[in-house]
Amino acid sequence: MEALWDSLIHEEIEPKSPEWHHNILSARKMKIAEGQAEFISPKELKSKQSR
């Protein structure tokens, strides 16, 4: 496991993010810019996930 980790941290090539990830981030940035984003605390998120 350590050899695998060492090979990853010394690799200088960053993996390319998939296009769908870029699309989600762009949509979220747009919601924030338009004032339509809803922010919740980590505590609120946990309570929503446990339902």
Provide the residue ranges of all domains of the chain, joining segments of one domain with +.
Answer: 20-51
Q: Is the pTM of this model over 0.75?
A: no
Exposed/middle/buried for 7, CB within 10 Å: 0-12, 13-18, 19+? exposed
| Confidence (pLDDT) at 12 | 74
**Strand, coil or helix: what is 19?**
helix
| Confidence (pLDDT) at 14 | 76
Model confidence over 4-49: pLDDT tens digits?
A: 888 777 777 777 899 999 999 999 999 999 999 999 999 999 998 8
| Confidence (pLDDT) at 19 | 95
- How far is 51 from 46, CA to CA, in rounded Å? 9
